[in-house]
């Protein structure tokens, strides 16, 4: 059914309970950086958010005004739709236990309103391991729900490897794909993009972005194979990469002119309602892209904006790190300091 190795499956619960800081921590970049000096006269702002799910939220989240303002200022917001949008789950028991994801179209609309994301400025990837949790009918219902809401989707095999999106002055190509699946390959084939090979990908965009569902869950530092794939994508012209699936924050890397945010964590909780605090840290990755002639599509600057999802009854509160009470803030800043180091050799 799934394509996870046995060692991965056996490590899921221990790593969920205690997310790992192990692995190669060398060569990563700071949380923020400027790649163009002086800055371009015209820029387009892209904001990438993590996984969106209803597993930890029966109702729409509460959102700090600073986070709403950050998202509202973006020209385009890109995220991962981790839960199928269905009226009634078909996998009833799994959905109750949290192993199968589901959310209603109404919940998604209310959650987006709560965090200040306009539907016409949103792109959601459906290339993830949970997209078929409610079967083929649930997949089809999800695609239809996003269309009704006016939300653009990426990562559908029927749409091709790269979907074009016009963002003000820029023509941006988004390539979303998943390396992981929770169901048989025959169900994913022809529905969900699973290929990471750029051969045959269309060109001619001002900016090519990859939105991969990759790496292993609950590890703060990406595996060697994930970093190798990032280098391959960068070498083939991808200039911006924002990854999902780890459910915890992962670092940023600069590979020549390419900026890679390996993992943004969850935007709305996806891994059980009660979760250890390191898994409650998420990030909004903001990239300013040049729209000037001569440098069109170049990444001018980037910044990771961390926040925390606090439990509040039957839903979550999204709070920037500076808005946390002192004890929690110290713990979160300590973890962020361990993840986002300056360049090390």
- Considering only residues 149 and 313, tell me which one the structure prediction assigns the higher pLDDT: 149
Question: pLDDT of 158-173, one tens digit each?
Answer: 999 999 999 999 999 9
Question: pLDDT of 196-217, one tens digit each?
Answer: 877 777 788 999 999 999 999 9
Strand partners, 287: 46, 302
Question: pLDDT of 209-250, one tens digit each?
Answer: 999 999 999 999 999 999 999 999 999 999 999 999 999 999
1 within domain boundaries: no
Tokens of 227: 């970093």
Q: In this predicted structure, what is the pLDDT of residue 275?
A: 85
Dist CA 319 CA 310 (whole Å): 7
* CA distance readout (Å), 168 to 65, 292, 318: 25, 12, 29
Question: pLDDT of 284-314, one tens digit each?
Answer: 999 999 999 999 999 999 999 999 999 988 8
Average pLDDT over residues 99-103: 90
What is the DSSP annotation of 289-337?
EE-STTTTT-EEEEEEEEEEEEEETTEEEEEEGGGS-HHHHHHHHHHHH
Range of the domain at 128: 6-339
Does the pLDDT of residue 343 top 50, yes or no?
no
- Considering only residues 178 and 2, tell me which one the structure prediction assigns the higher pLDDT: 178
Q: In this predicted structure, what is the pLDDT of residue 203?
A: 80
Q: Work out the pLDDT band at 144, boundaries 50, 70, 90.
A: very high
Residue identified by tokens 């440098």 is: 295
Beta strands in the chain (DSSP E): 32-34, 43-52, 62-63, 76-81, 122-125, 152-154, 163-167, 170-178, 207-213, 240-242, 252-255, 258-261, 281-290, 299-312, 315-320
176 within domain boundaries: yes
Does the pLDDT of residue 342 top 60, yes or no?
no
Average pLDDT over residues 21-44: 96
Dist CA 321 CA 280 (whole Å): 11
Q: What is the tally of structural domains in the chain?
A: 1
Residue identified by tokens 């790992």 is: 20
Query: CB-based contacts of 342: which residues, under 8 Å, 6+ apart?
Result: 30
Q: In this predicted structure, what is the pLDDT of residue 344?
A: 37
Dist CA 336 CA 249 (whole Å): 8
Average pLDDT over residues 65-94: 95
Q: What is the CATH number of the domain that holds 62?
A: 3.60.21
Mean pLDDT rounded to a whole number for the chain: 94
Q: Work out the pLDDT band at 77, boundaries 50, 70, 90.
A: very high
**DSSP annotation of 16:** H
292 within domain boundaries: yes
Average pLDDT over residues 75-83: 97
Tokens of 94: 């799994």
76 within domain boundaries: yes
345 within domain boundaries: no
Exposure string of 301-331, with b = 16+ CB inside 10 Å and e = fewer, is bbbbbbbbbbeeeebbbbbbeebbeeeeeee
Dist CA 31 CA 264 (whole Å): 12
User: Cα-flanking dihedrals φ and ψ of residue 146, to 5°?
Assistant: -65, -40
pTM above 0.85, yes or no: yes
User: Please, what is the angle between helix 105-115 and helix 65-72, to 10°?
Assistant: 100
User: Cα-flanking dihedrals φ and ψ of residue 166, to 5°?
Assistant: -85, 120
Q: In this predicted structure, what is the pLDDT of residue 273?
A: 66
User: Cα-flanking dihedrals φ and ψ of residue 308, to 5°?
Assistant: -130, 140
Contact 122, 164 (CB under 8 A): no
Does the pLDDT of residue 345 top 60, yes or no?
no
239 within domain boundaries: yes
- Looking at 54-58, 261-265, 280-284, which range is the least confident one? 54-58
199-203 own/partner pairs: CB under 8 Å, 24+ apart: 200/161, 201/161, 201/162, 201/175, 201/236, 202/160, 202/161, 202/162, 202/173, 203/237
């Amino acid at each position: 059914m799934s394509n996870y190795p046995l060692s991965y499956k056996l490590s899921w619960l221990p790593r969920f309970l205690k997310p790992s800081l192990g692995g190669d921590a060398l060569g990563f970049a700071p949380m923020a950086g400027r790649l163009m000096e002086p800055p371009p006269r015209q820029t387009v702002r892209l904001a990438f958010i993590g996984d969106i799910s209803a597993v930890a939220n029966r109702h729409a989240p509460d959102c700090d005004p600073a986070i709403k303002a950050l998202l509202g200022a973006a020209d385009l917001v890109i995220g991962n739709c981790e839960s199928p949008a269905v009226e009634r789950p078909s996998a009833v028991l799994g959905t109750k236990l949290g192993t199968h994801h589901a959310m209603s179209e109404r919940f998604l609309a209310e959650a987006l309103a709560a965090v200040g994301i306009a539907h016409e400025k949103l792109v959601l990837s459906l290339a993830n391991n949970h997209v078929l949790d409610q079967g083929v009918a649930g997949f089809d219902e999800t695609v239809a729900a996003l269309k009704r809401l006016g939300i653009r989707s990426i990562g559908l095999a029927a749409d091709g490897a790269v979907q074009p999106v016009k963002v003000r002055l820029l023509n941006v190509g988004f390539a979303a794909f998943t390396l992981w699946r929770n169901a048989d390959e025959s169900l994913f084939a022809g529905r969900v993009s699973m290929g990471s090979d750029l051969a045959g990908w269309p060109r001619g965009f001002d900016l090519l972005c990859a939105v991969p569902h990759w790496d292993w869950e609950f590890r703060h530092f990406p595996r060697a194979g994930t970093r190798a794939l990032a280098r391959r994508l960068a070498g083939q012209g991808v200039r911006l990469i924002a990854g999902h699936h780890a459910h915890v924050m992962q670092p940023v890397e600069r590979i020549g002119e390419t900026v890679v945010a390996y993992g943004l964590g969850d935007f709305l909780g996806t891994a059980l309602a009660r979760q250890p605090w390191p898994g409650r840290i998420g990030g909004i990755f903001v990239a300013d892209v040049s729209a000037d002639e001569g440098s069109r599509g170049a990444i001018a600057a980037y910044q990771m904006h961390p926040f925390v999802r606090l439990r509040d009854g039957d839903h979550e509160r999204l709070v920037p790190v500076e808005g946390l009470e002192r004890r929690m803030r110290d713990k979160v800043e300590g973890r962020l300091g361990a993840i986002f180091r300056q360049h090390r050799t």
